[in-house]
Amino acid sequence: MILNNYKKFYENIDRENIYATGSDLKVDVFYEQLTVNFIKRFLLKDKKILEIGSSKGAYQNVVLDYTGIDIVESLRKNYVKPYFVNELGQPYPFPNECFDGVFTRAVFEHIPNIDFILKEMLRVLKKDGYIFFHMAWNARSWAAEGYLVRPYSDFNWNGKLIKALLPLRENIFIRSFFIFFKRGGLIIRFILNKNNFKIHLKYKKIKPNYEIFWHSDFDACNSVDSFALMLYFKANNCKIFNYSNLLRAFFVRSGNLIIQNCNI
């Protein structure tokens, strides 16, 4: 039932107002970072590039040889370049090591089978290929119920308590303490058993809302820390260009990741 709601939701979502990613490229910060820090930096303009979660194809002209993939057939009308529909749980319809680069924006927090898709992304990427990765890091578990925007009168006593405590839970110092504590545990586990990080991303599943839009990431089903994702990529023999060592990565708060597949 949840998976049926998932597909139906993304087929019917308002992509002009709610999911309007890249609607105006002149003021799109991600577009500038993508073209300068990724396409231009790694000489990918005439290389074969895949966008995961390509939605309406706003970025399909960043390179000459572009392919987009998403889960909705009705999006196809927006493309003049190749577009593929991927059913949940199905492998990508591409051979191994066929793309020189992959990029994705604000997608992986919404993918129920995130471990599987991460593996598929690495499978279709060429050795020494590049990834430009962006997502909503540490998505809030309370976003689905709209605690930040709904009045206290909407909730029972338990809900009122959750809403009252949100300023504390959002406090940067309190959040930093818990995040760094968790990251310390991740480092220890990484040192003791690196192979375990190669198989599974360490993240938290959260409950999405596929019925009512309250505010951004109301439909997120994953809460992922960027540091945990970097450990995942490092365990899979990848290089993180913008965070060259674990000490620097340990204190990262947000932003994009630029990754190279160093498998041989």
Q: DSSP for 112-129?
A: TTHHHHHHHHHHHEEEEE
Say what the pLDDT of residue 139 is. Answer: 94
Q: Is residue 172 part of a domain?
A: no
Q: Is residue 226 part of a domain?
A: yes
CATH of the domain at 21: 3.40.50.150
d(CA 159, CA 127): 49
Statement: residue 2 has pLDDT above 70: no
Query: pLDDT for 6-37, tens place per residue?
Result: 888 888 887 777 766 655 777 888 999 999 99
Q: Is residue 237 part of a domain?
A: yes
Q: Is residue 76 part of a domain?
A: yes
Sign of CA dihedral 21, 26, 31, 32: negative
DSSP-assigned beta bridge partners for residue 49: 66, 101
Q: Is residue 89 part of a domain?
A: yes
Per the structure, the count of domains in the chain is 1
Query: pLDDT for 73-111, tens place per residue?
Result: 999 999 999 999 998 889 999 999 999 999 999 999 999
Do 226 and 254 form a contact (C-beta atoms < 8 A)?
Answer: yes
Say what the pLDDT of residue 1 is. Answer: 45
Q: Is residue 186 part of a domain?
A: no
Domain that holds residue 225: 2-146+195-261
Q: Is residue 130 part of a domain?
A: yes
Q: Is residue 6 part of a domain?
A: yes
**Hey, what are 104's tokens?**
């994705």
